[in-house]
Amino acid sequence: MATGKAVNANVLDAALDHVIEKVTNIYVISTSLNIESWSVVDGNYLASTSMSSTSGDFGYTFTKAAGAGGGRKLTIPTVADIDIWGNGSAYGVALVDGGAADDAKVLYVTSCTQKPLTSGDKVNVPSWDIQFTDPV
């Protein structure tokens, strides 16, 4: 007989809380490669801005909730008017724990609608979700 699988919502929330507590910057990136290291983000970003859940100039509200079909999700808020630093096509968005440049950690990367970006303009990143599902 097979054993059922389960995970407590607190376990999933702990991973989401880590993102909320650690994110310092959001980057719009020009690659669809497997992005796990800061050096890949640093070498391929077109736009960036500070982002944190703390109050102040860059305070954003992150919302945790039950995920569709089970599990937990974190809604990343809309980030508007991000300065574009380079020319190219946007392929993804990365949330980064900035730290010192050599200690930066990529927390989460998602795809985005491919869009050409031009240096000197601004770009908006709409709200999106990180979701961890219940085990199956």
| Structure confidence by residue, pLDDT tens digits, 15-51 | 999 999 889 899 999 987 677 788 888 888 999 998 8
Residue-wise pLDDT for 100-125, tens only, equals 667 788 999 999 999 999 999 999 99
* Integer Cα distance of 68 and 133 in angstroms: 8
For residue 128, name the pLDDT band (cuts at 50, 70, 90).
very high
**Which string of DSSP letters, residue by residue, matches 28-42?**
EES--S---SHHHHH
Sequence-ordered list of residues with C-beta below 8 angstroms from that of 40, at least 6 positions apart, any chain: 31, 33, 106
Whole-model pTM? 0.88
Residue-wise pLDDT for 59-75, tens only, equals 788 999 999 889 999 99
pLDDT of residue 31: 84
What are the sequence ranges of the domains in the chain? 9-127
For strand 45-50 and strand 63-66, is the pairing parallel, antiparallel, or unpaired? unpaired
pLDDT of residue 53: 67
